[in-house]
Each structure stands twice: as structure tokens, then as C-alpha cells.
Chain A
């Protein structure tokens, strides 16, 4: 149990376009989901925390108008990178905390975004 999926696994887009990444908890409900960004050979950087039915909480330095997060249901959160630029190229990973669980986060497989 506790499987988290992400789609797509990789995406290449042109500069100026928007890209949507989906994060799903497949076999559990997740009141809270998290979005991370990871640069090569570095640790995970928390971008935002999203709670089902409410606005996401963004970490300092993360532009909320550029990285739109929607958590419309207990099993789905989406991250939209708007007007993408090459510097947005990165590995984006989501995680989910099981509703009523004991604080454990389960991570998705990640999405590799390349902006040309």
C-alpha cells in the first residue's frame, strides 16, 4: 500500500509554455500533499504544501503565480509551471501524507521537466 504516482514522468516543452504535472495517491487518501524540486546531486527542496480544498502554502522564495498548485480531491494534486523558462528545468517530486496516518510521507517517482 501507500503508492503515489506522477504523470508525466518526463516532459520537454518550449520556453513560455505551461506544463501541468499530476500527483495521485493510488491506494490511500491524502489530506496533505507536498511538492519538491530537486537539482542534480542535491537534496529535496520543499516548494509548497497543499491541503485538499484550500490554498497551498508556499515556501519562502517560491513564486505562487508561477507554480500553481491545486489539490481538488483527496487523491489528486496538480502543479502547473506557468510560462516556463529554461531555469525551471528540474526534477519535480510530489509526496503525500496519508489521512489519519502517523506523519509518514510517501513520494512519487518524480517528473523530469526540460524547458528548451
Chain B
């Protein structure tokens, strides 16, 4: 089955800095890669996703890159703000019935 590794487990940055979270996956058939943000005591919220036919996708301060050859994808957050502090999960799945495999999560702390 699919195995998703996520690093780092904790990331601490100053407000205004950039943050990068990296994930690798094992199944070359995976073609959908969402990123979720989970605030304390809440459910995960989809913030951005990318499919295997695209190398990069951007939405305001958030961007995701995908390298299919190397089987890794990354989340980039620019100009971080304290409200970006949360746990971020990457996931990977293959098409059809969508059952993603999640990474272990990254706790992002943005210091004001």
C-alpha cells in the first residue's frame, strides 16, 4: 500500500518568514495530493490540492509543488502569520474511490 512520510514534525518560524513542509510517497500510481490544515479541536480543512498532471499550484500565500519522478511534494507558505499556526497534513491517493493515506502531520508555529 501507499506510505507517506512528512517532515518536519515541528516547524517554528517568525511572522513574515516562509515555511516549507515536505512529503514523500511510495506508490507511483498516486495521482492526487491534498493538503489539510487542522486547528486545535477542529476537523482538517482542505487548503490546497494538486493532481499528477500539474507540477505546481498556487493560491495567494500558499503553493504546492509536485515532483512525480522523485515522488515528493511540498507545501510552501509565504509571509506567514500567527493565524497560520496549526497542524498541517499531506495526503496521497490514487484515483477512483478516494481513500487517502495521510502523513503524520507538521505542527507549524508562527511567532509574532
Contacting residues, chain A, for B41 (C-beta < 8 A): 110, 112
- Decide: A93 and B105 in contact? CB cutoff 8 A: no
Q: List 22 A-B contacts (CB under 8 A).
A: A32-B97, A32-B98, A34-B99, A43-B102, A43-B104, A44-B89, A44-B102, A46-B99, A49-B97, A93-B44, A103-B32, A103-B98, A104-B34, A104-B98, A105-B34, A105-B46, A107-B45, A107-B46, A110-B41, A110-B42, A110-B43, A112-B41
Residue of A nearest to B36 (CB): A107
> B-side interface residues toward A, CB under 8 Å?
32, 34, 36, 41-46, 49, 89, 93, 95-100, 102-105, 107
- Decide: A43 and B103 in contact? CB cutoff 8 A: yes
**Contact A43-B105, Cβ < 8 Å, known A93-B44, A109-B43, A110-B43:** yes
A46 and B98 CA atoms in complex are apart in Å by: 12
- Looking at chain B's contact residues, is the secondary structure mostly helix, strand, loop, or mixed? loop
A32-B97, A43-B102, A44-B44 given. 8 additional CB < 8 A pairs? A6-B43, A43-B89, A43-B104, A49-B97, A49-B99, A103-B96, A103-B98, A110-B41
A4 and B43 CA atoms in complex are apart in Å by: 10
Residue of B nearest to A51 (CB): B97
Residue-wise interface mask of A (25-43) relative to B, using a CB-CB cutoff of 8 A (1 in contact, 0 not): 0000000101000000111
Q: Quick one: which of A105, A108, A109, A110 contacts B100, CB cutoff 8 A?
A: A105
- Decide: B49 and A42 in contact? CB cutoff 8 A: no
A105 and B95 CA atoms in complex are apart in Å by: 13
Asked if A106 is at the interface of the complex by the 8 Å CB criterion, the answer is: yes
Residue of B nearest to A91 (CB): B41
Contacting residues, chain B, for A49 (C-beta < 8 A): 97, 99
Residue of A nearest to B105 (CB): A43
Residues of A57-116 at the interface with B, using a CB-CB cut-off of 8 Å, are: 93, 95, 97, 103-110, 112
A31 and B104 CA atoms in complex are apart in Å by: 27
A97 and B98 CA atoms in complex are apart in Å by: 8
Contacting residues, chain A, for B93 (C-beta < 8 A): 103
Shortest distance in angstroms between A67's beta carbon and chain B's nearest beta carbon?
A: 17
Contacting residues, chain A, for B96 (C-beta < 8 A): 103
Residue of B nearest to A103 (CB): B98
